[in-house]
Structure 1
Amino acid sequence: MTADRKKSWVMSYLKPASKWEEALPLGNGRMGAMVYGGIVKEEFQLNEDTLWSGFPRDSVQYNSLRYLNKSRALINEGKYKEAENLINTHMLGKDSEAYQPMGHLIMEQEGLVDVQDYRRELDLSTGISHTSFQSGDTRYIRESFISAVDQVMVVTLSAKGSAKINVKAMLESPHQPRISVKEDQTVVLKGRCPSHIESNYFRDHPQSILFEEGLGVGFELHIKAVAQGGTLSLTNNVLHVHDAESVTFYMTAVSEFEKFDVMPGSTGKDIDEVCSNVLRQAIRIGERACYDRHVKDHTELFGRVDLHLGSSTNSILPTDVRLKAYQDGEQDSELEALYFQYGRYLLMASSRPGTQAANLQGIWNNSMEPPWGSEYTTNINTEMNYWLAEIGNLSECHEPLFDLIENLSTTGRRTANVNYQARGWAAHHNVDIWGQSTPSGGDASWAFWPMGGVWLTSHLWEHYLFTGDNEFLKNKAYPVMMGAARFCLDWLVEGPEGYLVTNPSTSPENKFLTPEGEPCSVSMASTMDMTLIRELFTNCLEAISILGLDGDFGMEISAAYERLYPFKIGEHGQLQEWFRDFEESEPGHRHVSHLYGVYPGHEINRFETPELIQAASTSLKRRITNGGGHTGWSCAWLINLYARLLDGESAYQFVHTLLARSTHPNLFDDHPPFQIDGNFGGAAGIIEMLLQSHLNEIHLLPALPSEWSKTGYIKGVKARGGFIIDMEWEKAKPVTVCIISELGEQCNLRTNTPLVLEDGTAIGKWDSLTEQFTLQLDTTRGEKIKLMAQN
């Protein structure tokens, strides 16, 4: 039953995983598993995306509004530290809840002797995990996958030789499990998540887990075995398989979770019946059909994009050995391409239409108290998770984030009103499945930042730019964008020189030095705040024009836009991070929030703001010189920033750094510890080096490094405006380019070499300012246009 595997997209290992960060991930967006590939003992660590601690609660800070004007007055007086202390004491809230593991499927195989020729693999192109080894004259094979089509995990054990399969399987869970067996020999595990977890990765107070009777998310996990030959038996809720030629385990799980604002278990949802029906249907159609349906679904998404960055002699080595060689200085462009496709695989596996959005760990978590609660951190990490979605031709995998944003626009209305007496909606930096939109506990430097919702709305607009979906813009995106803009209009106050500013304001997680030399995070008009608001206002105005809506609201936004506090350049020639040219408390800080306008925004660009591009470049150099980019996700952000600065060599330096310094043996990003945002951000950065489309044109090979310049191709990536691009290059120049317009729009191209149509017609003109060729293509008929390098 093993599928044909393109070697480029297979991760392989010659020994079982000895720890979680060596296991291999499976997922269908809703259910996830980490496969260890053990020999005698095989382990699948399991997740389901609605298993979180807690339940819907009121988290608004009723006293916050009482201190808002006082904090503003202190900031206006330059008493920044006093304002910070006031916010920390009176305007923060409680931590969000934590994402939970579901449990484990354990298999223990008997009768193995003198095991040899072991291999475990994950085929990214099919989503199949494959473990095999030799014992005596028998080859044992285990294949597993999690189907999005049939909503089951399927694990098949087979033997080729004289020996048979003898294995026992059992379920475990940390959530007060109760295990029973149905008449049809289905094993059922029932559990309930904690009602609350008091946990914060950074703080010293004791962590506690609270189980309250009847509260928390209840769930069921069902598993059933179907054997070919041999017999099945059950002893103490353990499945025993005796002398089978092969056996297939079908497993599914469902929770009581219904919606972010509905008490779990309150609607009478029969999760036992749901699980039973799913298993019954999967078993009825059989292993082969489940396999075929899964592979068809998976390859339709994964196979849209292909990438080649050059050949590597190390491609025949196991993945962990290749990674170690790479860390020791050996080049491996095929490993870099594998890392890119792994990012796409992980997004497919952790975010599908109808599932929850990918959290800090995607969908994979083995701890009841995971780092940072494995929550949604919206001051960079959640957004970075989805930088890859549109350009990686996985637009539908973006949808769970839109659902999360819509939920936050509901809970955030109350936050905006009660906390700040503002219209619209607001969300802060920590979010959970219950839609917490209020400040968390902790310190103002991270907890007090009501711009999280503003940043998230950029994803709605980006989806529109890539798809041109006017119904999406009208019915889903614009109403949410408008709500966030209304909050900004009310949150802005008059500041220095009559400008509109945010006050209080922080630059996420960073601190400056006050005139008295004290580290402090609170002032007004951080560059990040003002950039986000300018971008949102611009997007709203464009949406209003497209949809022909809200003339009065558009005028209100336009009037405020003209008064927004502008960018400033500091004494070192750097882009200022705060409204004053404060000295930085930590010059090598991991966040580079003030550079948002370079990436993922585009307000700072080489055509319209060349002086700000230079200032941003200076800021970036200063940050890196002082140790910046030292975490996985921060390193990934630097790739994208340098790509936008058209500095391919520096961008590649951080591709290499991300893989060599911040990557686990299973290629998970190592923050440290594991966070998945580095995987997604790094993959997005690789595309950004090869193709950009944020300035109303498609720029080919804008930041191609010398390591990839000899020969390569990328196929199936998307550009804003609804274009799909295939491109091959040699000696750092495109040799063939194929473009399809899905929306029938005209295409503007920028390239470093003259291109001609298939009939030899030369097109394009030389731009002496940028030393590039620019050309317009008539792609309005939606046909594929092929271009070639001019001889």
Structure 2
Amino acid sequence: MKLNYDKPAKEWTEALPIGNGRLGAMVFGGIETERLQLNEDTLWAGRYQEWECPHAKEVLSEVRQLLKDEKYVEADIRCKELMGPYTESYLPLGDLFLHFEHGQLVNSYERILHLEDGIARTEYQIGDVVYTREIFASYPDQVIVIRLEASKPNMLNVHARLSSPLRYKTYSSKDHLSIRGIAPEEAAPHHFHANHPIVYGDFETTAAIRFEGQLHAELCDGKVEIDHDGIHIFNSTSVTLYWGAGTSFKGFDQIPDKSWNDVSSKVSNYFSPVKKQSFEKLKSRHLMDYQALFKKVDLHLGESTSPNGLSTAERIKEYGASDPGLIELLFQYGRYLMISSSRPGSQPANLQGIWNDKTRPPWSSNYTININTEMNYWLAETCNLSECHLPLFDFIENLAENGKKTAAIYGAEGWVAHHNTDIWCQTAPSGGYGHGDSVWAIWQMGGAWLSQHLWEHYLFHKDKNFLENIAYPIMKGAAKFCLDWLIEDDNQKLITAPSTSPEHKFMTKEGMSGVGIAATMDLQIIWELFTNCISAENELSIDSEFKYELMFALEKLYPQKIGKYGQLQEWFMDFDEEDVHHRHIAHMYGVYPGNQITEKQLPEIFEAAKCSLERRGDGGTGWSLAWKIGLWARFGDGNRAFQFISNLLQLVTDDSESYLNGGVYSNLFDAHPPFQIDGNFGFSASLVELLLQSHQGYLYFLPSLPDVWPNGYVKGIRARGGFEVNLKWKGHKLVEAEIISHQGSICNVCSGDPLSVKQVDGKTLPAHQVDNAVLSFQTEIGARYILTSI
């Protein structure tokens, strides 16, 4: 479980990521000059502001009339009046450079990221001296630790300096080097308008976010000097550097702190406990914390086919998905990135996790909630990292507060969010006050989709306190908005208007439009939200009147339809699409990650959805490929899913490549291109769907196992109902399933073969067939059960 290379990184997408949820760094592994590109998760451009369109209600009424009159193109244009500003950008903090005075001619070199311990290591030999570096981001101690060692005494001579692409100043004190800087007050961040200049305020009086980072050094021997040029270390044998950083961000709805002293004190406080601990103790605390999460899941899909000694980049290029070991590595890498970019108390993982080196990152490195943010967290529950899900829940709570104001502008109750948001929790349509395109900006389902994550978390853990006090109030708010947003058509069916199928346009007699009514994805998300709220009320018994209101609305919801090609229609009418191979596959939501469309419940719609996915083709960007893997897993076609795994595991070296050429960079980052982390997270989640599904009310073992993985096992994955599952298979057949019950729920299991159920103590349990395929038995909290074929 390691990424390994035989030379330093030249490009950012060759460097290796480390992180503790809040602090991130990309480690290049240079020889004479090491570079750590640094991030802190609250360093964003801009500040809280008002972004609502004051006359939205009037514009909405006029747009709906245009849509009723089938003037779609005109409605598309009018929707621009609803748009607020573009969202702000996530920013790089800076760089730490380490200059070594030992020359660059090495005898051997190795650069490694060990996934099992979350440590980046670089080792090389110059002459008869071996130089090693160990770098990790500690969550318990909230610093990045950099250990430098020479194999012979007094052979380390290092100069450390700090810089930033933002406006900054450096300072020195007797015990540390620091950097202070400010974020832009305005970054006009959207990549389509990057020619607009970044705007800074005054260094001392700016209303934007301030940041500070500090670098401390501990030497075992030698001498250290700190001045305006940096930290100078002479004739040492081993050195430990500590990096910590913080910002003036106080909350999504507050003005950032204007006191430099307050920011400095925040950062200094991180170091007080750190200085009292040895490097060995810090490393031990890091390992205990990190491995408690990472080691929950183990996956084996077969013996690796690539020879020992190949770098990770060579393995991708030469073997790709034909190497089961590389697939295992990519799966666990997704889990590693989640642990490293989303921890309790941090911000949720954004479009690039926490790793970004650009002042104008692609798509602002923001939260794109028409697929990408949600995909980031598909793996959290199934891959046994529910702790990492918590930052998203905190964020949704904040978003719901702002979303109430946006809903009110429309004349609706509850809360709403559109396709893009940022650390300031913008909820109005993000479109540069009309410069954007309605096909992506005018989408009112962001809050409704995000609410699914709250319900899913409950299904996996059955925590009624969480459901009653956190999840249900937010879900209800999103549902109340949807009830008010829905209007009746001429047939008394409930529709959404305006409505878009995210980022995909359709042909009308007047031309291309992105805006229509009752896009299929809208209907699927609303159906699921209402259904989840009804199920939640059944669990809590606190809101029966609202439940019946939702049940009545569900009966009137506009139905999904099958089009002229046998496909599931993407829009309410059978329009021809702008691009039959479009990367967005929005109307597949009800198949995955949703659960409305199954072969058992809606067989004709299920087949139509499969037809739609066939028509989309085998291309796609990185995250789109990951989504298609999950979809084919839900359709029961593991071999087709494996084709997309093969497409995903292709080496990308040029960001200018076509959008239909998604793959991975040499450091296994997902290539949209350019880099987006959602493809990494989406792949890990989708792979689990090939091995275990639980969205239909029962555990389904090996539902879509590809032929190329005849033997293998997986341990520690999670299923709805509070179950942890270990599976072992041989010759494509299940050998044994072990189920650990964390909630004492009734366990329903789907298997084509008769199964016996035993507790670990050997007692055979009574179990009964619910139908021809499902076995049901009662579990006890903490008990383990072994299922084998009779």
State the TM bucket, normalised to the shorter chain.
Answer: over 0.9
CA contact (8 A) 1:416 1:425 kept: yes
Matched, 1:491 2:482: no
Distance 2:58 2:247 in 1: 40
How far is 1:762 from its partner?
A: 9.9
Query: Is the 1:45–1:105 Cα contact (8 Å) retained in structure 2?
Result: yes
Q: Deviation at 1:489?
A: 0.8
Q: What are the equivalent positions in structure 2 for 1:650-669 lying under 5 Å apart? A: 650-660=640-650, 661-669=662-670
**Residue in structure 2 matching 1:477, options 463, 471, 474:** 471
Task: Give yes or no for contact 1:159–1:245 (8 Å, CA) kept in 2.
Answer: yes
Work out which of the residue numbers 265, 268, 272 in structure 2 matches 1:276.
268
CA shift digits 1:530-549 (9 cap, x unpaired): 11111111111111111111
Instruction: Work out whether 1:637 is the aligned partner of 2:637.
Output: no
Where structure 2 has 5 or more consecutive residues not aligned to the other structure, the ranges are: 651-661
Determine if contact 1:629/1:638 at 8 Å carries over to the other structure: no
Q: 1:629: how far off?
A: 4.0
For 1:35-78, what per-residue CA distance to the aligned partner results, in whole angstroms no more than 9, with x for missing partners?
00000000000000000000110011112222111110110111
Partner AA of 2:22 in structure 1: R
Matching residue of 2:656: none
What is the CA–CA distance in structure 1 between the aligned matches of 2:765 and 2:743, rounded to whole Å? Answer: 25
The question of whether the paired residues in 2 share the 8 Å contact of 1:701 and 1:751 is answered with no
> What residue number does 2:658 align with?
none
Q: 1:208 Cα deviation (Å)?
A: 1.7
Task: With the length of structure 2 as denominator, give the TM-score of the two structures.
Answer: 0.95
Partner of 1:357: 348
Distance 1:113 1:405 in 2: 49
Show the counterpart of 1:502.
496
Q: Which amino acid aligns with 1:744?
A: G
**CA distance in structure 2 between the partners assigned to 1:239 and 1:671 by the alignment:** 39
Alpha-carbon distance, 1:281 to partner: 1.5
Distance 2:154 2:723 in 1: 55
**1:319-398 equivalences in 2 (<5 Å):** 319-327=312-320, 331-398=322-389
Q: Encode CA deviations 1:106-128: one digit per residue, 9 max, x unaligned.
A: 00101236312100100111110
Once the two structures are superposed, the pairs formed by residues 85-104 of structure 1 within 5 Å of their partners are 85-88=77-80, 90-104=81-95
Q: 1:725: which partner in 2?
A: 725
User: Do residues 209 (structure 1) and 198 (structure 2) align?
Assistant: yes
Alpha-carbon distance in 2 for matches of 1:166, 1:237: 15
* Secondary structure class of the residue paired with 1:26: strand
Amino acid at match of 1:462: E
Counterpart residue type for residue 724 of structure 1: E
Matched position secondary structure for 2:708: helix
AA in 2 matched with 1:212: G
The answer to whether the aligner puts 1:71 opposite 2:72 as a matched pair is no
Q: Which amino acid aligns with 1:125?
A: E
Distance 1:645 1:765 in 2: 27
The residue aligned with 1:5 is none
- The one-letter amino acid of 1:749's match is V
Mapped to 2, the partners of 1:658 and 1:157 lie a distance apart of: 36
| 2:177 paired with 1:187 | yes
Structure 1 residue 353, shift from structure 2 partner: 0.6
- Report Cα offsets for 1:595-614 as digits up to 9, x if no partner: 11000001000111111110
Residues 602, 695 of structure 1: 8 Å contact kept? yes
Distance 2:733 2:679 in 1: 29
CA distance in 1, matches of 2:404, 2:423: 17
Residue correspondence of structure 1 range 565-584 to structure 2 within 5 A: 565-584=558-577
| Aligned counterparts of 2:259 and 2:739: Cα–Cα separation in 1 | 50
Match of 1:599 among 592, 596, 603: 592
Name the residue aligned to 2:301: 309
- Deviations along 1:253-286, one digit per CA (max 9) or x if unpaired, are 0111111001001589722122222113112112
Q: Distance in 1 between matches of 2:728 and 2:459?
A: 25
Alpha-carbon spacing, 1:623–1:765, altered in 2? closer, same or farther (3 Å) = farther
Within-5 A mapping of 1:322-721: 322-327=315-320, 331-418=322-409, 420-441=410-431, 442-516=436-510, 518-624=511-617, 629-660=619-650, 661-709=662-710, 711-721=711-721
Q: Would you say the 8 A contact 1:137–1:162 is kept in 2?
A: no
Q: Which of 107-116 and 188-197 deviates more?
A: 107-116
CA distance in 1 between partners of 2:313 and 2:584 (Å): 30
**Partner of 1:198: helix, strand, or coil?**
coil
**Aligned-residue RMSD, C-alpha:** 1.7
User: Mean alpha-carbon deviation: is it higher for 166-175 or for 553-562?
Assistant: 553-562
Separation in 1, partners of 2:15, 2:551: 52
Taking the aligned partners of 1:357 and 1:28, their CA distance within structure 2 comes to 12
Contact 1:455 1:532 in 2 (8 A): yes
Q: Which residue of 2 aligns with 1:296?
A: 288
2-structure distance, mates of 1:368, 1:205: 10
Range with bigger deviation, 537-546 or 367-376: 537-546
Distance 1:482 1:262 in 2: 26
1:207 positional shift? 2.9
The worse-fitting range, judged by mean Cα deviation, of 358-367 and 267-276 is 267-276
Q: Which amino acid aligns with 2:528?
A: E
Q: CA separation in 2, counterparts of 1:764 and 1:39?
A: 63
Q: Which of the residues 27, 31, 43 maps onto 1:51?
A: 43
On the 8 A contact 1:495/1:501 being kept in 2, the answer is yes
1:240 equivalent in alignment to 2:232: yes
- What is the aligned counterpart of 1:131 among 88, 104, 122? 122
Which whole-Å CA distance do the structure 2 matches of 1:334 and 1:461 have between them? 34
Once the two structures are TM-superposed, the CA of residue 237 in structure 1 deviates from its matched residue by 3.3
Moved more, 725-734 or 42-51: 725-734
User: Which residue in the other structure is 1:6 paired with?
Assistant: none
Aligned to 1:30: 22
Q: Partners of 1:768 and 1:255 in 2: how far apart?
A: 58
**TM-superposed deviation, 1:356:** 0.3
Name the aligned partner's letter for residue 211 of structure 1: Y
User: Mean Cα displacement is larger for which, 104-113 or 391-400?
Assistant: 104-113
Count, aligned residues: 768
1:116 & 1:290 partners in 2: Cα distance? 31
SS at match of 2:664: coil
CA contact (8 A) 2:768 2:777 kept: no
- How far residue 204 of structure 1 moved from its aligned partner, in angstroms, is 5.2
Q: CA deviation at 1:768?
A: 9.8
Say which SS state the counterpart of residue 562 (structure 1) adopts.
Answer: helix
Q: Distance in 1 between matches of 2:742 and 2:71?
A: 55
**Aligned AA for 2:735?**
V
Give the Cα–Cα distance (whole angstroms) in 2 for the partners of residues 569 and 351 of structure 1: 40
- Tell me how far apart the structure 2 counterparts of residues 103 and 699 of structure 1 sit (CA, whole Å): 47
Contact 2:21–2:341 (8 Å) recurs in 1: yes
Q: Distance in 2 between matches of 1:14 and 1:753?
A: 49
CA distance in 2, matches of 1:389, 1:762: 31
1:147 corresponds to which letter in structure 2?
A: S
User: What SS does the corresponding residue of 1:707 show, helix, strand or coil?
Assistant: coil
Conservation of the 8 A alpha-carbon contact between 2:769 and 2:775: no
Deviation, structure 1 residue 760: 9.5
CA distance in 2, matches of 1:541, 1:490: 17
Q: CA deviation at 1:765?
A: 8.2
What pairs up with 1:106-121 in 2 under 5 angstroms?
A: 106-112=97-103, 114-121=105-112
Deviations 1:532-588 (A, max 9, x none): 111111111111111111222222222211111011111111101101111111111
Q: Retained in 1: the 8 A contact 2:769–2:776? A: no
CA distance in 2, matches of 1:453, 1:668: 28
Matched with 1:743 is 743
Name the amino acid aligned to 2:694: S
CA distances 1:272-304 after superposition (whole Å, capped 9, x unpaired): 122222113112112111100000000000000
- 2:183 and 2:640 mapped to 1: Cα distance? 45
Aligned to 1:263: 255
Query: Any idea what the Cα deviations from partners look like across 1:494-516, whole Å, max 9, x if unmatched?
Result: 11411010011111001110134
For the residues of structure 1 that align with 2:548 and 2:707, how far apart are their CA atoms?
49
SS at match of 2:726: strand
1:313-343: per-residue Cα shift (whole Å, max 9, x none)? 316222111011125xx71011001100000
